[in-house]
Amino acid sequence: MKEKSVEITKENLLEFVESLKDRLKVSKKDIMKGTGTFDKRARTFFANKVRKWFHHRFDVAPEDYVFVEGDEYNIKKEYRKHKFFNSPTNPDAAIIAEDIPFKIAIELDHGNYGSNVRMALAKASYSVLLGKTYDQAVVFFFVDSPKRQSIFTKIEKDETDILDRYKKDDLNTIIHII
């Protein structure tokens, strides 16, 4: 059944991105298995599936809004220009609605340790901090081992406080553990 299409607004884009966490959880096995690097598999999946979901939700040409690094519809050059210590800070994907304007940087990352989460949050937040290119950053962090999943579901108060600070202020960065 096709979703009822809605207008592209900041609120509807954020709601769409929020809905991705559940869709990605259902699709996690497809993303984690296969050949090639995690980055390549995750970006390919994102390009194919998320564009399809975006089209169903908004009834527009998704290639005008959903961009993925290394894809036919790569992130536009003007959104890939920032560096930190001479190192590019390009997100893995982006949803860019220039007509609103509202731009979301998306980091697709994986690992088994807290240090992997810290790095993913830092990388994503640079997209917002450096030059204000993006208005929002979202991390979809895939836990590699099912045995390690519990580490990321029992979040301590200090960790919650830090994640809440990432959501506010100048960072505007959200993380979803998949």
pLDDT single digits (tens) 64-82: 999 999 999 999 888 887 8
Most confident of 53-57, 113-117, 169-173: 53-57
Summarize pLDDT for 12-22 with one digit per residue, the tens. Answer: 999 999 999 99
Domain hosting 165: range is 10-177
Domain-embedded: residue 66: yes
Number of structural domains found in the chain: 1
Predicted confidence at residue 46, as pLDDT, reads 94
User: Strand runs (DSSP E) across the chain, as ranges?
Assistant: 66-68, 83-84, 87-88, 93-97, 102-111, 136-143, 173-177
Q: Are 104 and 128 in contact (CB under 8 A)?
A: no
Close Cβ partners of 129 (under 8 Å, ≥ 6 residues apart)? 170, 171
Whether 124 maps to a domain, the answer reads yes
Burial zone of 145 (CB within 10 Å; 0-12 exposed, 13-18 middle, 19+ buried): exposed
| pLDDT value, residue 138 | 97
142 domain residue, yes or no: yes
Whether 2 maps to a domain, the answer reads: no
Per-residue pLDDT at 1: 55
Q: Are 138 and 124 in contact (CB under 8 A)?
A: yes
Residue 5 resides in a domain? no
**4 within domain boundaries:** no
Residue 1 lies in a domain: no
Least confident piece of the model among 5-9, 45-49, 112-116, 154-158:
154-158
Residue 137 lies in a domain: yes
Q: What is the pLDDT of residue 67?
A: 97
